[in-house]
Structure 1
């Protein structure tokens, strides 16, 4: 396995880990740079200029990394090259897994997000019947109940089985930002063109309202409905790497507090050995800076 080193944050994805290869390469998006002493703003603009037809100087982009960079910069492939994406209405289902006790929160999420999505599906770890759940159904939301049973992948797969096309999965403490919502249409269209079926989204963790150092915290949450997830905790779609990509326009905002960070590490470790991820816990409790 390649040694990974810590360095400045990648100008494309914001990650601070680099493969120590002949050219340092971002462990997330694949951008390779001539050296780790770079002006991030200038390098980002140089990449944008290259995608528009200019030279590639001071960096390298393999095909998958070129797509990651282009999408992060709001560009898609057209007949004459990489061009700014044109906004389009998304043909995407919103999928939410939640506890039955969170039905009021889910109802509020749906009130804010439902207009963007053609369909919404909610799977509750509990029973259906309270007023908030009935209100969801009245708005045309498909609601089912099934015990979580300590298996997040299985619960997401219940959403998948009820959906068609692309699905954006959210938890009750997550919200897509405006940039991500505005990009869903062209991102999924571009993914269909390239034969992709799972897209990794950046998640911005806000602990007690402060962005944490765990960024971009990639989550594969935008997936085709025929895909299935695996893993009781930290679930991921079961698809070949070549049918995935990063979609780095916008982010999912994840709001939690310090007590929740500490508690979930213990819960996850109890569910699956190693799932507590002490490194993630430490990064969540450390504030974000441009350098770490």
Structure 2
């Protein structure tokens, strides 16, 4: 397999790693270009014309899954034999959250803010039944349960999955969906159902002390069918065949951190599982988005 090389950020997903092939290929969204001397707006316009009008796109190659990745990133959905602009649709996505009991005030604010967007909201607290009851009183209409985290993030997410139906968007207490993601949930999940997909990878925008970090798009597979289960005590991922997954590049999860928290979480994760501290991720989190490594 060809190694990944660093290059300009992909005009579709924003990743800066490319497979070193005859046509460099983004190792996230699989967009392939004749070379890396491109103008992002020109590439996006060419892909849009290709999908909507069938206009050949010179110097651009898109495998079927890459075509879907690019189409969704451009706000397009497949419609029969062609593509059209996506429009908001109703959805039955459940909001699922795992959090510590000490974060209950923050969780209550987030659940209240997001109530208009989700008919069902499920929270699993790493705390006591009393903690869960107090949060439930603060956020009427939400399901609140308690269970010890016990150092296993996947198991905690799976408990949320088991309480849900249809699709689930899993968030942590320091994460929020941006407006674009909220607006896209309906058409994204409808398109995923048409394509037989079970797990969608969402970009996560890491904001460290309010500044976007270089760790982008930081894909997180957090929008999944309820029957899907996660694996991995740290950096957990859904157990899904590749052909049942896709990137969903319409909108993002926003992750709110400060510098001490970035350093602390690396140490905590490394203590939980060797290698999980990911020093490369920590360095990227502490580097502003536009700065070179």
TM-score calculated relative to the size of structure 1 = 0.97
Q: Are positions 1:78 and 2:79 aligned together? A: yes
Unaligned runs of 5+ in 1: none
Deviations 1:120-160 (A, max 9, x none): 100000013257513246x1111110000000000000000
Residue of structure 2 in register with 1:143 after alignment: 144
Unaligned runs of 5+ in 2: none
Q: Is the 8 A contact 2:100 2:127 kept in 1?
A: yes
Q: Are positions 1:41 and 2:22 aligned together? A: no
Structure 2 counterpart SS, 1:105: helix
Give the whole-Å Cα distance in 1 for the aligned partners of 2:187 and 2:205: 22
Residue of structure 2 in register with 1:227 after alignment: 228
Deviations 1:160-201 (A, max 9, x none): 000000000000000000000000000000000000000000
Residue of structure 1 in register with 2:22 after alignment: 22
Deviations 1:67-87 (A, max 9, x none): 000000011111240111121
Tell me the C-alpha RMSD between the 2 structures: 1.2
Runs of 4+ in structure 1 over 3 Å off:
none
Deviations 1:9-31 (A, max 9, x none): 00000000000011000000000
Residues 1-292 of structure 1 mapped to structure 2, 5 A cutoff: 1-52=1-52, 53-130=54-131, 132-136=134-138, 139-289=140-290
Structure 2 counterpart SS, 1:248: coil
Give the whole-Å Cα distance in 2 for the aligned partners of 1:72 and 1:290: 24
Give the whole-Å Cα distance in 2 for the aligned partners of 1:290 and 1:44: 24
Give the drift of 1:275: 0.4
Give the drift of 1:101: 1.1
Give the drift of 1:114: 1.4
